[in-house]
Chains A and B, each alone.
Chain A
Amino acid sequence: MREREMQNTPTSLLLVFFIVTACVTTVQGIVGTLLWPEARFGFDAFLFPPLFGILSVLSNVVLISKKELSMGQMAFRMFLQLLVIEVMVFSVNILAGSSENYTPAICILLAGAVAGIYGVVHVIMWLNDRRAAKAFNERLRRFQEEIQ
């Protein structure tokens, strides 16, 4: 039973990875085209979006708890997770040496973009859950009618 209970977690983590990778690629493309249209990169630039995707998945450690978290506690942990992702993104940029030209305005833009992507990931997951809940509720009614 334990294995069945846990089987959805890798799927949702994979979903987070792909959504983050897609969003980072999109945001990098838009922001880069607007701010540094003359910039050219090597093939190593392709590795950054999936790297951020992996870091986002790893940041899920913040949400792990032995106790059942209340909704308020979960919201707080999610805020902490966002902070962890922000720190990781800025650390990667500093380590990669791409932060040399960063002005405060660019830093705010980057932090906002990270928060935006984080929000988009959770909105997409919520919409997916809403669709699943709707199908579940329809089937639940039939299930209860069949039994009664």
Chain B
Amino acid sequence: MRVEIRKIASKEAEKVIIECVKVTPQIDDIRAFAEGSGRELAGTSCELTMDEEIERHVERFPLREVYYFEAVDEHVFAYTEKKEYEIRMRLYEIEEQFQACHFVRCSKSVVLNLMKLGSISPALNGRFYAHMKNGERLVISRQYAPLIKEIIMGV
């Protein structure tokens, strides 16, 4: 496949155009990589000030740094290695939009990043523990375990 890179002036106008006869799994991989590598999210992070007041900041952070998204009482949080952000998206939107970037639902309230998953181990009654690379442990419910296995094992 020929690769052509054209330099432009504006960062916002950067884009990848794929010209292909047919959208094959390889093309999907390239698209997922292009979408995921540059994608950023906006979220609100909370910090405790010296006066013990909560200060909220809206920050942008790369999608690839997110370990997992969790829904807690109608709020959705994104967890990176050191920080957590509240984001304005529903969990099903995250699941649908970031599927190509290797995000997958592992329970009713969590969507995890397969690229940040260290390993899994069996838990009770057909469930699994997901050991994330930052040391956190999540539960993969029995309902979603086959889907994750299908993505990784291809069966």
Per-residue B-contact encoding for A1-31, CB less than 8 Å = 1, 0 else:
1001111110010000000000000000000
Q: Report the bound CA distance from A147 to B100 in whole Å.
A: 12
Per-residue B-contact encoding for A58-101, CB less than 8 Å = 1, 0 else:
00000100011001001100100000000000000000000000
B122 contact set on A, CB distance < 8 A: 126, 129-130, 132-133
Chain B positions 37-61 with a Cβ under 8 Å from a chain A Cβ = none
Chain A positions 85-143 with a Cβ under 8 Å from a chain B Cβ = 122, 125-126, 129-130, 132-133, 135-137, 139-140, 143
Contact of B147 with A by CB under 8 A: yes
Interface contacts (Cβ under 8 Å), in number, total: 74
Do A75 and B142 form a contact, CB below 8 Å, given A136-B149, A136-B153?
no
Do A140 and B124 form a contact, CB below 8 Å, given A5-B147, A68-B108?
no
B145 contact set on A, CB distance < 8 A: 8
B154 CB to nearest chain A CB (Å): 8
Interface size class of A (residues with CB under 8 A): 20 to 34
B111 CB to nearest chain A CB (Å): 13
Do A147 and B107 form a contact, CB below 8 Å, given A5-B143, A74-B124, A137-B120?
no
- Quick one: which of A68, A75, A122 contacts B141, CB cutoff 8 A? A68
B146 contact set on A, CB distance < 8 A: 4-5, 7-8
Q: Which residues of B contact A (CB under 8 A)?
A: 29, 33, 102, 107-109, 114-115, 117, 119-128, 139, 141-147, 149-150, 152-153
Other than the given A8-B146, A68-B141, A144-B114, 4 more pairs (CB < 8 A) read A78-B125, A122-B124, A129-B128, A135-B153
Q: Kindly list the 8 A-B residue pairs having the minimum CB-CB distance in the complex, ordered from nearest.
A: A129-B122, A8-B146, A68-B108, A137-B119, A133-B120, A130-B122, A139-B152, A74-B124
Q: Which residues of A contact B (CB under 8 A)?
A: 1, 4-9, 12, 63, 67-68, 71, 74-75, 78, 122, 125-126, 129-130, 132-133, 135-137, 139-140, 143-144, 147-148
